[in-house]
Amino acid sequence: MRTILVYRDTVGARSESFIQRQYRAFHELDPIYVGTKRGPIAPGASVILAAPGILGSFGRTAFRQWGHIPAKLDRLIADRNPALIHAQFGLGGALALPIVQKSGLPLVVTFHGGDATKDKHFEERRFIPTIFQRRQRDLMATAETIFCVSHFVRDRLVARGFPTEKLVTHYIGIDIPKDVALPPSGISDSVLFVGRLVEKKGVDILIAAMSVVAKAHPNLKLSVVGDGPARRDLERLAGQTGIQAHFHGWLPEKEVRAAMRRSLLLAVPSRTAASGDSEGLPTVIMEAMAYGLPVVATRHAGIPEIVSDHTTGLLVDEADAAALSAAILTLKCDPDLANRLRGEAYADVRARFDADRQSVLLERKLLDIIAATTRQ
């Protein structure tokens, strides 16, 4: 097998299992993960360019800010002769540029959402531009291909001036069970949210919607899985509105699946944040569809590429608490509709978003890029 380097600045962050899943079905290419920090789910063979803690901070800064290549990375490249670098997220692509420039390896980058949509990443700073801003032009010129996790992300990068001919949409897949056993629709009284608690996730809108829902169905409660900087404010808001809400924090994947099996629906009230931050292609929606859980979501970013309104789920406009509450009540009161939606959703996600299938497609695309750059 030929080696490729996968660059992500923090290798194995708990919320980024989707990165490793992209390479799971590879048969011809062997990924080695490279970054400056080790996260809790990093593969054991990952190459971390800086030592942990304060002692490694200078090495991390030297690589990130000035492109200093540590000797261990030079040895890795000499020993394994990698064929390509695949950088995850736009910043990852910018950080990988010095490796590319020194090694001559072709570079591929995947943009996931906020890295394409947040205005702060692209605003000009007169005095202290960010690493991404300093290297953006070189990144656009150097990358052989820029993968986008949704057509929405691709369109945003086109609007940012990225070369259209280099932008390719490639969906990230999920694990799909062979069969789904769920209780009949409408029995559960739990509305589930799963995600990071930040502005773009729209949980405040969901809380407002649940306060309306509770007037018709007082037993309906909100179950929030996830954490983030907005958690305290959201807990306070839920308390002020008087809804039944439980904030679980992050749960192990197995427990999230169990929560999906006992919930009425998954609510995904995402919206564009004031900073421009938007979703890319929320994998939690695909996961809910794969586990037979009906989805209520917003017409935001790449979500309509996953959910077809009244076919595989229900869609409402961003920041519309009244429409969101009506959609939740619809699925509570119309179990036949909920059953039809989750059946169509399961079939659709199997056909379009299977993790192994998408991994095989990614490997083919990378092999084609390697072959094309070798011929040059």
Query: Closest Cα to residue 205, out of 272, 151, 305, 293?
Result: 272
- pLDDT given at position 182: 67
User: Residue 249's closest CA among 311, 196, 177, 180?
Assistant: 196
Distance separating alpha carbons of residues 295 and 292, to the nearest angstrom? 9
CB 270 within 8 A of CB 297: yes
pLDDT at residue 338 in the model:
95
3-state helix, strand, coil in the chain (%, to 5): 45, 20, 35
pLDDT tens digit string along 344-374? Answer: 999 999 999 999 999 999 999 999 999 999 8
Looking at residue 312, its pLDDT comes to 98
Residue-range domain boundaries for the chain: 2-173+354-375, 190-352
Percentage of the chain beyond pLDDT 90 is 86
Question: How big is the CA angle at 295 (ends 290 and 297), to the nearest 5 degrees?
Answer: 130
What is the chain's Cα-based Rg?
22
60 vs 36: CA distance, rounded Å: 6
| CA–CA separation, 359 and 295 (whole Å) | 25
- Nearest-angstrom CA–CA distance, 15 and 6: 17
- State the angle between helix axes of 90-103 and 71-80 in degrees (0 to 180), rounded to the nearest 10: 70
- Name residues of the chain where pLDDT drops below 50: none
Q: Helical H runs in 184-271?
A: 203-216, 231-241, 253-261
Phi-psi region of 249 (alpha: psi -120 to 50; beta: other; left: phi over 0): left
Q: Residue holding tokens 């919320």? A: 15
Q: Please, are residues 109 and 91 in contact by the beta-carbon 8 Å criterion?
A: no
CATH no. for 2-173+354-375: 3.40.50.2000
CATH number of 190-352: 3.40.50.2000
Question: Do 2-173+354-375 and 190-352 fold alike per CATH?
Answer: yes
Gap between the Cα atoms of 118 and 283, Å rounded:
19
Burial class (CB in 10 A: 0-12, 13-18, 19+), 81: exposed
Judge contact between 105 and 3, C-beta under 8 A.
no
Query: What number of other Cβ atoms are within 10 A of residue 241's Cβ?
Result: 14
